[in-house]
Chains A and B, each alone.
Chain A
Amino acid sequence: MPETTFDNIRLCMLKEAVRERGTMKKNNRSLIVILLPFLFCFTWATPAYVAGKAPYKIGVNLEMTGPWGEVNKIVRNTLLMEVEKINGTGGIGGRPLQLLIEDNGFDLNRAAANMTKFSRDKEVIAVIGPFEDNFQATTRAIAEREKITNIIICPSNPKVRALKQKWSFNIAQNDIIVSEKLVDLCLARNYKKILVFPAQIPLAQSLADYFKQFGEAKGMKVIVSKETHLNTDIDMTPQLIKLKPILEQEKVDAFYACTGGPPGGVICKNIRSLGIKTPILGTHAFGFGFFISLGGEATEGVEFPAGKPVVNPEQLDEGDPVRPVITDLNNRLKARYGTGADQISGHAYDAIGLLHASLKRSGDKATRSQLRDSLENTKGFPGCMGIYNYSPTNHDGLTKKDLIFIRIEGQKFTRVKFPGFE
């Protein structure tokens, strides 16, 4: 028995659901036109900034979930710490910096959507871009089209360099200088024959290609194995079993595990558990704490070229302009988060540092194109990874001299020096 208007309504709707509802009153339809857009409204509202001068907004498009989640958290924490420090000293010309952090979930569509979200907000002057190599191409294209500066944390590769895009800058050591440095390492250790085991990521493949090119120019024999591995693989034993005979037949002097991320440590462990004693060389991506914890004792004696923040700052040269920067970052990070500086926090520091320096140079209320021009004219900026020099033809910033040779001894990263190869 219907007690209230409600039950009445309920009954009516029941009846209607049973019979066909083809008729509608005409004048109610205009309500639909008004209603739908409001479904989307609240996601697009940007929070109003209260008090003081308008801040410089910097978009941050990172993979906070996915395989690099932990690593990107370090980036985010370092960025926040640096921005707080800059704002504490009054910002740039009285304007604070504000970070807008969005996760792209390791998905290409979302990385692109985040870029457009940042580009359409007129107050965002730059985007600190993806960490993952595969997203680079898309975000670069969007940055170029929407004319916003994109600072990319991963290294560039030949394909994107060939496009000569104006609005994107890489801050990581690129594949050319890493390969050159590794060739130097091989010359210093007198390795004549090297077997390369690349991962199936573009960075590893271009590293392998450049290494072969530079190595053979210096008279070494480089064998690039046909076996590859995915960078999400957690066991490389099958491929290594197939490579073992090649190692023994050709009597190679060194094994170059051309990969980044967790597979590096896994490869070391797998190799040693198969009883292979060949020295192992790595890429700069080996310079992370998790590499040692994954590989355990198998990583003893592994050598690779990497950025300077990997080792304790005391191991750097006295006169190195980068050393005080790293020491300072190391101390501040330890005080706040408990862990010291490493390559990742170094990248984050450099990104914000470069933006900071460029904004200071471009005067008050810098526009996007002013920022870009100023960033392109960066000369001699001392970041954690080295001295940055950008120019219209070079958007990578670092050179071979910004890398050092590192060897793992006693489960710690130790710097080694080879006279004549610094």
Chain B
Amino acid sequence: MTSWAYIPQLLITGVTIGAIYALVAIGFVTIARASQIINFAQGEFVMLGGVITFVLLNKGFLPYPVAALLAVLIVILIGFSLHRLVIHPLRKASLLIILMATLGASFFMSSTSNLVFGSLPKSLPPFSGSEAFHVWGISILPQSLWVFLATSLLLILLYLLSHRTFIGKAMEASSTDPMGADLVGISRDLMLLMAFGVSAGVGAIAGILITPIFYTSYNSGTLLGLKGFVAAVLGGWGKPSGAILGGFVLGILESAGIAFIPSGYKDGVAFGILLLILYFRPKGILGSPFVDSRRW
């Protein structure tokens, strides 16, 4: 069987994981637009979403939707506390220190998750059945369709939020022109707090979507966060549309690449793409409002 024949099946996996990368990338971009901070703990929000839902479902015996909702709320609270406890005290510190602090926070969250929830991978029941559909020789899990559907809904929701509600518009203003927003009376601190909340929530939802297909364990957050960042840079750093595009492109490239190279190199593909993009076109596919401007 030639390598090309694997592509259709791998595309399905690629689009599924691409949706998750897109959500993680949106999380990065939300915070970066509000404050130019890169939150390396983003991947941990995804992990915590999945893990906390698992715990609430199995140990807390709550019904599935309630457990999921509660988990998202808890992760949003964790996002708020990350801002208050780690980012806010460091608001005047240099780039390097904030970077290291978010890395440290990511490490802390993953090892605490290991401590409290255990180190074994956790799985959630799929939203509808677990039998795959077989269409034209490829198997599609119903959960993949849910992922795609939910991601689209969430993205539409985020768009509506940022362009139609007052808070959303305030956040957009604060990120597009910080000084102007300050002058008008929008509190940048509060906007940053909201940004952390939003990206934590988005990450948690991504975690709940992905856990029925791919397992979540305490260390799956780190790599996911890094790849989400790669996706954000790939699509065009600083733009939500770039983040979405980058997520899907990365997912597809990564999965399709497996057909041609030994599967152990899977993670290397994402970083290889990163190095190539940073070398040839740091602006990303759609161009970036940040790179080449003096904001950085």
Contact = CB atoms under 8 A, between A and B. Distances in A.
Contacts of A228: 263-264
Contact of B114 (A66, A226, A275, A293): A66
A238 B121 contact: no
Interface in B197-230: 213-217, 219-220
Contacts of B264: 200, 228-230
B111 to A, nearest CB: 6
Interface in A265-285: 266, 273-275
Contact of B215 (A239, A241, A294): A294
B176 interface: no
B242 to A, nearest CB: 26
B62 interface: no
B120 A273 contact: no
Contacts, number: 76
B139 A70 contact: no
- Interface centre among B13, B115, B259, B263, by most A CB within 10 Å? B263
A227 B13 contact: no
A91 interface: no
B219 A232 contact: yes
B266 A275 contact: no
B214 A234 contact: yes
B134 interface: yes
A235 B215 contact: yes
A392 interface: no
Nearest to B255: A238
A278 B141 CA distance: 20
Contact of A238 (B13, B118, B213): B13
Contacts of A68: 119
B288 interface: no
Contacts of B89: none
A290 interface: yes
B262 A65 contact: no
B69 interface: no
Nearest to A240: B263
Interface in A50-71: 65-71
A293 B9 CA distance: 27
Contact of B263 (A67, A239, A262, A266): A239
Nearest to B14: A238
B120 A290 contact: yes
Interface in B95-146: 111, 114-115, 118-121, 123, 130, 132, 134, 139, 141
A25 interface: no
Contacts of B141: 273
A305 to B, nearest CB: 23
Contacts of B115: 65, 69
- Interface centre among A66, A237, A242, by most B CB within 10 Å? A237
A71 B6 CA distance: 37
A228 B219 CA distance: 20
B214 to A, nearest CB: 5
A242 B264 CA distance: 13
A37 interface: no
B104 to A, nearest CB: 16
A67 B255 contact: no
Contacts of A66: 114, 119
B258 A238 contact: yes
Given A69-B114, A241-B6, A266-B121, A275 B134 contact: yes
Contacts of B215: 234-235, 262, 266, 294
Nearest to B214: A235
B118 A226 contact: no
A245 interface: yes
Interface in B52-97: none
Nearest to A266: B215
Given A69-B115, A69-B119, A234 B217 contact: yes
B119 A241 contact: no
Interface in A193-239: 200, 226-230, 232, 234-235, 237-239
B129 to A, nearest CB: 11
A296 B213 CA distance: 13
B10 interface: yes
Given A228-B264, A241-B6, A245-B1, A70 B13 contact: no
Interface in B1-56: 1, 6, 9-10, 13
A67 B217 CA distance: 9
Nearest to A228: B264
A112 to B, nearest CB: 21
A67 B219 contact: yes
Contacts of B1: 245
A65 B255 contact: no
Nearest to B12: A237
Contacts of B121: 234, 262, 266, 294
Given A262-B217, A293-B123, 11 more contacts: A65-B114, A65-B115, A66-B119, A229-B264, A234-B220, A242-B6, A242-B259, A266-B215, A274-B132, A275-B132, A296-B130
13 contacts: A65-B114, A66-B114, A67-B219, A69-B114, A69-B118, A70-B119, A228-B263, A241-B6, A266-B121, A273-B130, A275-B132, A275-B134, A290-B120
Pairs A-B, 10 closest by C-beta atoms: A234-B215, A69-B119, A238-B258, A70-B118, A245-B1, A262-B121, A235-B214, A239-B263, A290-B120, A238-B263
